[in-house]
Structure 1
Amino acid sequence: MALLEVADLDAGYGDLRILDGVDLEVTEGEYVAIVGPNGAGKSTVMKSVFGLTTYMGGSIRFAGEEISGLRPEEIITRGVGYVPQTDNVFPSLTVQENLEMGAYILESIPEERLDDVYERFPILEERSTQKAGTMSGGQQQMLAMGRALMLDPDLLLLDEPSAGLAPDLVADMFDRVDAINGDGTAVLIVEQNATEALKRCDRGYVLVQGANRYEDSGEALLGNERVRRDFLGG
């Protein structure tokens, strides 16, 4: 069953249109990657799903409900979590305070969700009283992901999670995304490391100049000679 359905989506920023008729689907529990060259509109798709762009036409449906035009604070209540590429933690707050902010829409902090996040990311529990701004880039990325999981979303949106990470941390980050998906959370990821993302995902989309160019399983896209040559460096 389709959890997220994006159909013929036009979107951008102000009067500037970036996306031109984009189609995309994520089924329940699926792991889907969006790859493509810089400026292709990959992050704009992600932001559009979360209500952060100017909607210009088409449809965005989540769990059968039209969500285009809704504000992010409304979309999050439907079961969508979002981790932006940059500025994704509150640097002056502690780790635990950041996680609690992930459940700000609730009357009380669900302790079981906090325990689940700490079990998934033990370093966060070790540093629960540390200011987020003093943590390493990899630790901040884990914190941002943990905060997005505080409401136990059905779909997790990840925008360039490997950006800025040291090479030895990239595989660990992907392993953690695999584990989140393995526990039943659907994942939609935009990723600069296209080869690694396609190795791990169920399906992938290649965007070029704000429009769909290819759609297939991750394995098939990796085996597509034209995709490898034009978008994966050979």
Structure 2
Amino acid sequence: MSTAETAARTVPAATSHQRGYRTLFSRGTSRTPFVFPALIVGALLGTTLLAGCDQKPVLSFQNLDITGNRQFAGHFSLPDTNGQVRTLADYRGKIVVLVFGYTHCPDVCPTTLAELSQAVRQLGPKDAQRVQVLFVSLDPERDTPSVLAQYAEAFNPSFRALRPADAAQIRQMATDFNLDYEKVPGSTPDNYTMNHTAASLVFDTTGKLRLYARDGQGTTPWVHDLRELLGTT
């Protein structure tokens, strides 16, 4: 059974060790820090300003609300596993969850995708159709289109994958979404790992970037926040 299939069947509860690393760190042979304090300040400031000038009810999220935070791009344009360039416009009317990782990832990526798969199922068939999870490869060298597509769909048939065309496109994506990533050499040229920011980004049904979701949180926060954004709480 593959790593994807195993993780999709069983989602371990977050341990105290995992919860201790819910700061924005990557997992691998080393950990790459992310500028978390600045992110929090920016997110809180943006939320405060929005709450002050918008009379709509303020939603309560369990993940980090980054609505209006300009540290992140509000769009993307990346090829899917068929080579077709995808943008937010292709998923209009759906919540879009971008999960960054690679198919050889030993822990974070399969766990996150498995949690999301369970969360989407818990929404029920009708609301599940309004959520699109996109697994974005940081390792297109090994993540061929067929491998990537099979990997994403092993967790949930509705999941799709995006595959940057080259190193330049990965660098631009990393800049756009404040991602840290690096290749860590292994015992052979092909046996390497990727350190990367362990987080996902969530766009609402109008295409607005709303949430920064850290890894290892379990299924419950996903279900709660997706329902908030869908207006079905």
Q: What TM-score do you get using the length of structure 2 for normalisation?
A: 0.26
- Relative contact order higher in (CA < 8 Å, ≥ 6 apart): 2
Q: Which has the higher strand share?
A: 1
